[in-house]
Amino acid sequence: MTQPLDICIRGDGIVGRTLALLLARDRLRVGLVSSSGAAAKSPAPSSGDVRAYALNATSKALLGSLRCWPDAEHATEVLHMQVRGDDGGEVNFSATELEVPGLTWIVDVPVLEAQLAEAVRYQPQIEVLEAPQSATLTVICEGKASRTRAEFGIDFEVARYPQSAIAARVLCETPHAQTARQWFTQDEILAFLPLDGPQGNSVAVVWSVQHDRVASLMEASPVEFCQQLAEASEGCLGKLTLISERGAWPLQKAQADRWSGTQDGKAWALAGDAAHNVHPLAGQGLNLGLGDVAALAKVLHEREYWRPVGDEKLLRRYERSRKAEVATMGATMDGLQQLFAQDGAPWATVRNWGMRGFERSGLVKQWVARQAMGFK
C-alpha cells in the first residue's frame, strides 16, 4: 500500500482477521500485524493445536458472510446439550424443542484460522505487516496478554480463578450423536464437545480443575488420563483414547477499564480477549470477541460522512454498545463458577435444586437458551 492506513489491527488471530475482512468490505485501508512475523503466507492447520470453540448462530452468520465458515466435518452442529450437576440436578436442551437448526457449532480452531488467513491473503485492501504502522485508528486484538494494551496505559483488572483449564481430544467408543455434554461438581467443570461431523466419535475436552490437580493430570500416562476422564464423565461414551497432546492454562475473568481512547493524537480501540475475559464454562469467549468486531465494523460503516474512523464519539458508541452485554455475560459465568465452588451439602442441594427448577421453567429456559445461541 502506498497510501496511509486507515486502520492498523494488532493481532492476527480469529478476531483480528475477521475484523480486517469486515473493514476491507468498506474499502478501508487496513494493516494487519502478524504475531508470527510471517507477512503473507497462509498457514496450514497445526496438528498439535487442540483448541475448539463453541460458536453460536450469530457468529456462524458473521463468518459465513465472509465465506470463512468451515465445512461440516470441522464445524460440528450440536443438536442436543446435557448439563449435569453434582447431586442429581440436570438440564437438557434440544434444537428440535427450541425450533432452531442447531444449538451451537463446535469449530476446529486451526481450520478456521487457516480459512481466515487465506481470505486475508486475497483481499487487496489488507496488508499483512511484520510490525505496526501509523494509522488513523489502531485496534488491539492481541489477546489477554496484550503488550500494546499495556503500552497504551490501559488498566486491565484481572481476577484469577483457583482453576486451570486442561484441553485435549479423545476418541470415544460410542459416537457423540451431536451432543455436547457438561458436568459440574464442587471443584471441577468438565465439557465434552463433539467433533468430526454428525457421525463423529471424537470430542474436544475442556476440563477446569483446581491448580493442584493440573500437574498430575498433565503428567499422567494417556491410559491413566483417560481412565480419570471416563470416571469424571460417568462412562457416558465408553472407552476413551487420547489422540492429541494436552494443553493447560490458568483461568481468569478480566475487563479493561477503557475500550477506546486517544494517545498522542492517534485513536485506539480494544476488541476480544484484549478487552475482556470470561470463564469458559459456557463457551462464550470467542462469541463475545466476534460480537465486538461486528459491532465496531457496524459503527464505522454507519458513521456520518464527515467523521474519520478515529473519531472519539464514534468509538464511544462502539464501547457503549458492547460493555453491557459483556459485563452481563461475565457476571453470569462468574456466578455459576462461584456457586459450584461452594463446599458442603447445603450448597449442593441449593444448586441442584436450581438446576431442576430451571429444567422445568419452560419459557424462561427457552429464552435463556436462545440468548446464548445468539438469537436475540
The owner of cell 468509538 is 315
Q: Tell whether 226 is covered by a domain.
A: no
pTM score, whole prediction:
0.86
For 75, the grid coordinates are: 464445524
Number of folded domains in the chain? 1
> What angle is formed at CA 324 by the lines to CA 372 and CA 137, rounded to 5 degrees?
105
CA distance 269 to 161: 27
Question: How much is the mean pLDDT over the chain?
Answer: 84
pLDDT one-digit tens code per residue, 270-293: 999 999 888 776 667 899 999 999
Q: What is the mean pLDDT of residues 241-261?
A: 91
DSSP β-ladder status, 104-108 and 5-10: unpaired
Q: What is the largest CA-CA distance in the chain?
A: 67
pLDDT one-digit tens code per residue, 155-204: 998 888 888 999 999 999 999 999 999 888 877 889 999 999 999 999 99
CA distance 49 to 184: 26
The residue type of 149 is: R
- Concatenating the DSSP letter of every residue in 338-374 gives HHHH--SHHHHHHHHHHHHHHHT-THHHHHHHHHHTT
CATH number at 55 reads: 3.50.50.60
Can you give the residue range of the structural domain that contains 149?
Answer: 5-158+252-372
Q: Please answer whether residues 304 and 131 qualify as being in contact, where contact means their C-beta atoms are separated by less than 8 angstroms.
A: no
